[in-house]
Amino acid sequence: MSNEITPFESIRRTNPAGNEFWSSRDFAKVLGYADYRNFQSVIESARTACFNSGQRVEDHFVEVTDMIEVGKGAKRPAKSVMMSRYACYLVIQNADPSKEIVAQGQTYFAIQTRRPKFGGASRFKCDAPRKKVRARGFWLSAPRSKCGAPRSKCGAPRSKCGAPRSKCGAPRSKCGTPRSECGSP
């Protein structure tokens, strides 16, 4: 994407703690939903997707009361939702795909949610090189453990020295079985 400010960046807000969020009412207007009622079903679908992905919904969707203008300068309270960047990504995935702005938003949030928060920082705690394995004619990256180190062939994380561990976590013996089973050092 180019360096110009997108409609999604123009409605982005920041709270006093420095966390960014988007108002669901502003988001609905940018996506071309004339009536906020129609947009609420999109938010509910996104909440369901958030829950099903194992995330805490309340970390990404926070209900608030905003004052909205109703005519001739009068204001009234109306419910709204403060959404995180991840929540916006889920909302845009559940929005009306026939709208061009939705396609632009899907691209924007797909790129932005994958970008590290602190410019270029690695998302792994250690920077072990990724090994490539050949499977059925394709080169695949070997899966990594939680710290980013490659896993052993059986899928269990490797020990600190690099030797594979058994599924129960006990270091393996020279013959390959867990030490607890064969008794060898």
* CA 144 – CA 152 distance, rounded (Å): 9
For residue 177, the number of C-alpha atoms closer than 13 Å in the C-beta half-sphere is 5
Could you report the average pLDDT of every consecutive run of 10 residues in the chain (185 residues)?
A: 77 91 94 93 96 95 90 90 94 92 90 60 38 41 46 49 52 52 48
Contacts of 182 (CB under 8 A, 6+ apart): 173, 175
For residue 178, what pLDDT is reported?
A: 52
* 101 within 8 A of 30, measured Cβ to Cβ: yes
For residue 126, what pLDDT is reported?
A: 37
* 12 within 8 A of 20, measured Cβ to Cβ: yes
Whether the model pTM is above 0.85: no
* CA 113 – CA 107 distance, rounded (Å): 10
DSSP line for 132-184: EEEETTEEEEPPB-TTSPBB-TTSPBB-TTSPBBPTTSPBB-TTSSBHHHH--
